[in-house]
Amino acid sequence: MATNPPPKPPSVPRTTPKRDEGGTTVLERLTQKVQPPQMHQVLMLNDDFTPMEFVVMVIQEFFSKDLETATQIMLKIHLDGKGVCGVYSRDVAATKVDQVLDASRRAGHPLQCVSEPVDL
């Protein structure tokens, strides 16, 4: 999994002083633009040992795909060497990768799953 340096913490919103009619100072809060979190795609990698039925089951269970969609993703993995199972925030993508790897190890399969940032 590719790692990026942690983002800078958001700065405290700036305020600008203003005077009201009574001569007292009133602080006005300026709105701050917040960037949406960077998304990560979860990829499964092809191998020659993991049964296709197991890959379909994992995609259905952990990525909430129906049988037809899971089968299409499995075929893409099989034919292209890798396939995108879903796009999530970084933490959710890392959890999905861990779930898939744990399930494949418990079943005795060498299935590989990684996440990487989505290029915009």
Q: Where are the domains of the chain?
A: 39-117
For domain 39-117, the question of CATH label 3.30.930.10 is answered with no
Q: What is the pLDDT of residue 11?
A: 62
Instruction: Give pLDDT tens digits along the chain (120 positions).
Output: 556 666 666 665 555 566 667 777 777 788 888 889 899 999 999 999 999 999 999 999 999 999 999 999 999 999 999 999 999 999 999 999 999 999 999 999 999 999 999 986
- What's the pLDDT at 106? 97
Backbone angles phi, psi at 22, to 5 degrees: -85, 0
Beta strands in the chain (DSSP E): 15-19, 25-29, 39-45, 82-89, 112-117
Residue keyed to tokens 């100072």: 25
The predicted pLDDT at position 32 comes to 86
Would you state the pLDDT for residue 15?
57
State how far the alpha carbon of 71 is from the alpha carbons of 12, 17, 55, 91, 101, in Å.
Answer: 48, 61, 9, 26, 19
